[in-house]
Amino acid sequence: MEGYIKLHRSLLEHHLMTNQSYFLVFIQILLRCNHKDKSIIINNKKTLIKRGSFYTSLSKLSEQINIHRSTITRAIKFLQRDAMIETINIGKGTLISCVNYDKYQEKRNDSETIEKRWRNGSETIARTNNNDKNDNIKKKDINKLISKKESDKNEQFNIFESIDNKKKFVKPEIDEIFVEMSKYAFSKSIDVNERALFSQSEQFFNYYESNGWKVAGKPMKSWIAASRNWLLRYSENNYNKIVNRKNNEQYETESVNEIYEFVNELKKRG
């Protein structure tokens, strides 16, 4: 393979950095994506693999980067939920595509952040000169504009009202909980490893699944907020356990020293 890829330094501040394995998988995906369209044979058919995509299997990817397949699977789901990649199962393999690959890998302003490039890359900023536009509006069109604005206001109000009426709690999957906990742990510098995070995600899901997703007897409104509180309690309990263990060790050491001194004193007295 030839060529290179571009990485922005703001990636260092991205929540993906909370997990070295996921970060490595993401970089490997970037490196393995086609830099130009390429045709390959899949199931005896000629298939076009576009720029920014590549065809592989999770087992092969696991062997190539020396990471367990289960970790590869979780990393793929993590990147999918974060809108950084897309996958399609074809035959015995998987087509993996980087979202907004062209926008990120072409010559662009380096001041853009990784979040803008990967998650908002498809958005464009349209700027118009309002002064020039207003100068071209004729007086006879003013009434039409006023009427249109009133109509837009009513339509916007109906849209928001409809959205509010449709708001319903949707229970999360374990992977979604894991992603949110990972992000929150990174933002708050909570010292917790991947295994513990996944374990807490499962415990969180199982606990609220068993009680019908209720908090203090009332239906849960935000599982994200609840998962953050869960992680904070886990971190606090873990810290208290460490402190108590150290205090107990210190107490035991002091007790042993006191007994040793007492025995020596008895020996001296004969």
CA angle, 47 as apex, 1 and 91 as ends, to 5°?
100
C-alpha 17/C-alpha 189 separation (Å) is 12
What pLDDT shows up at residue 101?
86
Cβ-proximal residues to 110 (8 Å cutoff; 6+ apart), any chain: 8
Would you place residue 224 in the very low, low, confident or very high pLDDT band (cuts 50, 70, 90)?
A: very high
Q: How many CB atoms lie within 10 A of CB 263?
A: 10
Residue 162 predicted with pLDDT over 50 = no
Would you place residue 214 in the very low, low, confident or very high pLDDT band (cuts 50, 70, 90)?
A: very high
Q: Bridge-partner residues for 96, per DSSP?
A: 54, 87
- Cβ 175 vs Cβ 81: under 8 Å: yes
The length of the chain in residues reads 270
258 or 73, which is more confident? 73
- Angle between helix axes 58-65 and 20-32 (nearest 10 degrees) is 110
Q: Bridge-partner residues for 224, per DSSP?
A: none
For the stretch 251-269, pLDDT in tens is 566 666 666 676 676 667 6
What pLDDT shows up at residue 125?
44
What pLDDT shows up at residue 111?
47
Would you place residue 132 in the very low, low, confident or very high pLDDT band (cuts 50, 70, 90)?
A: low
Verdict on whether the full-model pTM lies above 0.85? no
Q: How many CB atoms lie within 10 A of CB 149?
A: 10
For the stretch 34-55, pLDDT in tens is 888 989 888 888 889 999 999 9
- Cβ 119 vs Cβ 10: under 8 Å: no
Residue 162 region by backbone torsions, left for phi larger than 0, else alpha for psi between -120 and 50, else beta: alpha
SS3 state at 110: coil
Mind giving me the DSSP string for 24-74? HHHHHHHHHS-SS-EEEEETTEEEEE-TTEEEE-HHHHHHHHT--HHHHHH
What pLDDT shows up at residue 45?
87
What pLDDT shows up at residue 237?
86
What pLDDT shows up at residue 110?
46
C-alpha 224/C-alpha 184 separation (Å) is 10
Would you place residue 17 in the very low, low, confident or very high pLDDT band (cuts 50, 70, 90)?
A: confident
Would you place residue 205 in the very low, low, confident or very high pLDDT band (cuts 50, 70, 90)?
A: very high
Would you place residue 21 in the very low, low, confident or very high pLDDT band (cuts 50, 70, 90)?
A: confident
